């Protein structure tokens, strides 16, 4: 069964158990504070929505967007608008000695909130212990796609696609190597990145994507009874009910049947039979919502992939299942599993000595991985079992 398959995929990870006591204490404190803040913001938003003042995400958005964008004197940061979509492009101010990597990054936030000011694309330029912005020599393009429910699904994908097409058609302006384009994102942003990579397969006039990098991706809305959903149903940051609530609001639907959705009652028996090998409502089955279910004829053409999963994350098995689908279709995969990680760990990076070690190490790992990518795809299969 799918549940057994996901569980067996995790067995190799049960090796050396390395713990960091001080970091564990900080993890508990920070996740509790973050989760309490998130729930309080949503509750306040629901009250304001009932009063007819604003929608339920207004308070959460205001808090997230209130974090000012990081500015660095060594960086050239350009803000522009393409097809009504705000973009932010990061480049080192130092003259390029050669063509740079081009990184497209889509932020998370369930398609309903989020900001381009505090995500990984800027984090790689913030690590003071190591000047990664010099060693990486990358141009990072972030897209502030418009949010649901004001801008209904699937408008977010069109925004991300517009940002991608603009960047890929202007590589010379940003000194980017057309053979080193990386598409990436975290959470639902990783979902967008996955869909964009699948869509670009049909465009022969653009450079090929060198790699897709997906951080704790959410890739399907068919099965909420996977092992990771059961094991982390009441976990902090992103419990199962909150995932389903976000899905409803993202699709601009009223969350009236949460209990039925949790039990997968929304999936017709015919669909369960067709996709029971992988997992198992119209929008839910769309490729732009559940790219995990793309046909093999599409999956086999995808570029080298890098997937990050976290042990204490309801979306863990989405990443594992996509990893298996890619491998089954001959696509090279680099897998990084954070044994003590949880959903949204990037939000806990950038606080100096208060940053969690697992976040710092995860950023370091990903930066090193991007540095290792050359213009010619590697034929090796990599699997990292990080125990942090």
Identify the pLDDT of residue 141.
85
Average pLDDT, the chain: 74
| Ordered DSSP codes for 213-266 | EEES----SS-S-SHHHHHTTT-SSS-HHHHHHHHHHHTT-----HHHHHTTTT
Identify the pLDDT of residue 300.
96
pTM for the predicted model, two decimal places: 0.76
CA 150 to chain centre: 22
Contacts of 19 (CB under 8 A, 6+ apart): 340
Q: Phi, psi (5° rounding) for residue 206?
A: -105, 155
Identify the pLDDT of residue 121.
43
Rounded-to-integer distance, Cα 27 and Cα 357, Å: 10
Structure tokens at 227: 């092992």
Instruction: Walk along the chain (388 residues) and give the pLDDT tens digit of each residue.
Output: 444 445 444 443 333 333 344 444 444 444 444 444 555 555 555 665 566 666 666 666 666 665 555 556 677 888 899 988 999 888 888 888 889 889 999 988 888 888 765 444 444 444 333 333 334 567 888 888 998 888 888 999 999 999 999 999 999 999 999 999 999 999 999 999 999 999 999 888 999 999 999 999 999 988 888 999 999 998 777 889 888 888 888 888 776 666 666 666 556 666 656 555 544 456 777 888 899 999 999 999 999 999 999 989 999 999 999 999 999 999 999 998 888 788 887 766 654 444 455 555 555 656 666 666 665 554 333 443 433 4
- Which DSSP category does 99 fall into? P
Q: Where are the beta strands (DSSP E) in 130-221?
A: 138-143, 176-186, 211-215
Contacts of 47 (CB under 8 A, 6+ apart): none
Active site residues: 187, 313, 343
CA distances from 385 to 9, 16, 262, 297, 369 (A): 12, 10, 30, 29, 14
Strand partners, 80: 87
- What pLDDT digit, counting tens, does each position of 27-52 carry? 444 444 444 455 555 555 566 556 66
Rounded-to-integer distance, Cα 12 and Cα 14, Å: 6
| Domains, in order of start, for the chain | 2-8+24-370 (3.40.50.1820)
Please compute, for residue 57, the number of CA atoms within 13 A of its CA located in the half-sphere on the CB side.
20
Identify the pLDDT of residue 168.
95
| Ordered DSSP codes for 257-326 | -HHHHHTTTTS-HHHHHHHTTT---TGGGSTTT-GGG--HHHHTTPPEEEEEEEEE-TTHHHHHHHHHHH
Rounded-to-integer distance, Cα 220 and Cα 290, Å: 4
Strand partners, 212: 183, 305
Identify the pLDDT of residue 18.
39
Identify the pLDDT of residue 91.
86
- What pLDDT digit, counting tens, does each position of 212-269 carry? 999 999 999 888 889 999 999 987 778 898 888 888 888 887 766 666 666 665 566 6
Q: Is 187 left (phi over 0), alpha (psi -120 to 50) or beta?
A: left
Rounded-to-integer distance, Cα 26 and Cα 24, Å: 5
């Amino acid at each position: 069964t799918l549940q057994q398959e996901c569980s067996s995929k995790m067995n190799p990870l049960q090796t050396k158990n390395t713990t960091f006591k001080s970091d564990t204490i900080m993890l508990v404190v920070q996740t509790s504070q973050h989760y309490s803040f998130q729930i309080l913001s949503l509750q306040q938003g629901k009250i304001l929505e009932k009063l007819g003042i604003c929608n339920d995400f207004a308070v959460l958005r205001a808090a997230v967007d209130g974090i000012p964008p990081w500015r660095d004197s060594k960086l050239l940061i350009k803000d522009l608008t393409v097809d009504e979509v705000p973009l932010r492009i990061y480049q080192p101010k130092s003259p390029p000695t050669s063509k740079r990597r081009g990184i497209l990054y889509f932020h998370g936030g369930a398609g309903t909130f989020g900001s381009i000011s505090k995500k990984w694309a800027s984090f790689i330029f913030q690590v003071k212990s190591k000047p990664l912005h010099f060693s990486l020599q990358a141009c990072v393009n972030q897209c502030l796609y418009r949010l649901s429910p004001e801008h209904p699904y699937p408008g977010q994908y069109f925004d991300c696609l517009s940002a991608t097409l603009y960047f890929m058609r202007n590589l010379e302006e940003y000194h980017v190597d057309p053979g080193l384009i990386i598409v990436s994102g975290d959470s639902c942003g990783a979902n967008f990145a996955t869909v964009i990579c699948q869509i670009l397969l049909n465009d022969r006039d653009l450079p090929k994507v060198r790699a897709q990098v997906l951080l704790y991706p959410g890739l399907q809305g068919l099965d909420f009874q996977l092992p990771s959903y059961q094991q982390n149903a009441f976990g902090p940051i992103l419990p199962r009910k909150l995932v389903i609530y976000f899905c409803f609001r993202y699709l601009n639907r009223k969350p009236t049947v949460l209990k039925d959705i949790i039990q997968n009652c929304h999936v017709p028996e015919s669909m369960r039979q067709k996709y029971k090998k992988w997992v198992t409502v119209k929008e839910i089955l769309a490729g732009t919502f559940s790219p995990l279910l793309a046909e093999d004829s599409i999956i086999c053409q995808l570029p080298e992939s890098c997937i990050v999963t976290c042990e204490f994350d309801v979306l863990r098995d989405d990443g594992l299942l996509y990893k298996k689908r890619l491998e089954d279709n001959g696509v090279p995969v680099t897998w990084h599993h954070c044994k003590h990680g949880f959903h949204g760990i990037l939000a806990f990076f950038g606080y100096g000595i208060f940053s969690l070690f697992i976040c710092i190490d995860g950023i370091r790992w990903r930066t090193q991985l991007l540095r290792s990518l050359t213009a010619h795809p590697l034929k090796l299969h990599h699997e990292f079992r990080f125990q942090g």
